[in-house]
């Protein structure tokens, strides 16, 4: 993780097999919306994550969450795991350092 990339919201590129994907890093507004979406208990929260963060040439890949629902489940699970890592990539920086 690069703290500079995280703070400046630089897109994250990830690959699986021969495919490369670009994920938009989450902002504070995304975090607030994600908490709100997750609190609803929506079974399609994973679709929301991919819909909200998967980009190509700076624009969202999908027009609707229904398009995400029609995708390969394994690929969506991979993308969701990568997006989840982005939401937590700086958590270790906010933990107090022990004095031992």
Q: Given pLDDT bands bounded at 50, 70 and 90, which one contains residue 98?
A: low
Q: Tell whether 48 is covered by a domain.
A: yes
Q: Given pLDDT bands bounded at 50, 70 and 90, which one contains residue 3?
A: confident
Q: Tell whether 81 is covered by a domain.
A: yes
Alpha-carbon radius of gyration of the chain: 15
CATH number of the CATH domain containing 74: 3.30.2220
Q: How many domains does the chain have?
A: 1
Output the pLDDT for position 8. Answer: 83
Q: Tell whether 82 is covered by a domain.
A: yes
Q: Tell whether 17 is covered by a domain.
A: yes
Name the more confident of 89 and 67. Answer: 67
Task: Report if pTM > 0.75.
Answer: yes
CA dist 54 and 27 (Å) reads 14
Output the pLDDT for position 42. Answer: 82
Domain that holds residue 70: 3-89
Output the pLDDT for position 75. Answer: 94
- The mean pLDDT of the chain is 88
Collect all residues with Cβ–Cβ distance below 8 Å to 22 and sequence separation of at least 6. Answer: 11, 12, 13, 54, 55, 56
């Amino acid at each position: 993780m690069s703290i500079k990339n995280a703070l400046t919201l630089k897109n994250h590129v990830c690959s699986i097999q021969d495919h490369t994907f670009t994920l938009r890093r989450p902002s504070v507004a995304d975090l607030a919306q994600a908490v709100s979406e997750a609190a609803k208990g929506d079974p399609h929260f994973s679709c929301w994550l991919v819909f909200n963060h998967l980009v190509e040439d700076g624009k969202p890949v999908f027009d609707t969450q229904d398009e995400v629902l029609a995708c390969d489940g394994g690929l969506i699970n991979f993308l969701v795991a990568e997006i989840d890592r982005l939401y937590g990539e700086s958590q270790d920086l906010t933990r107090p350092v022990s004095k031992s």
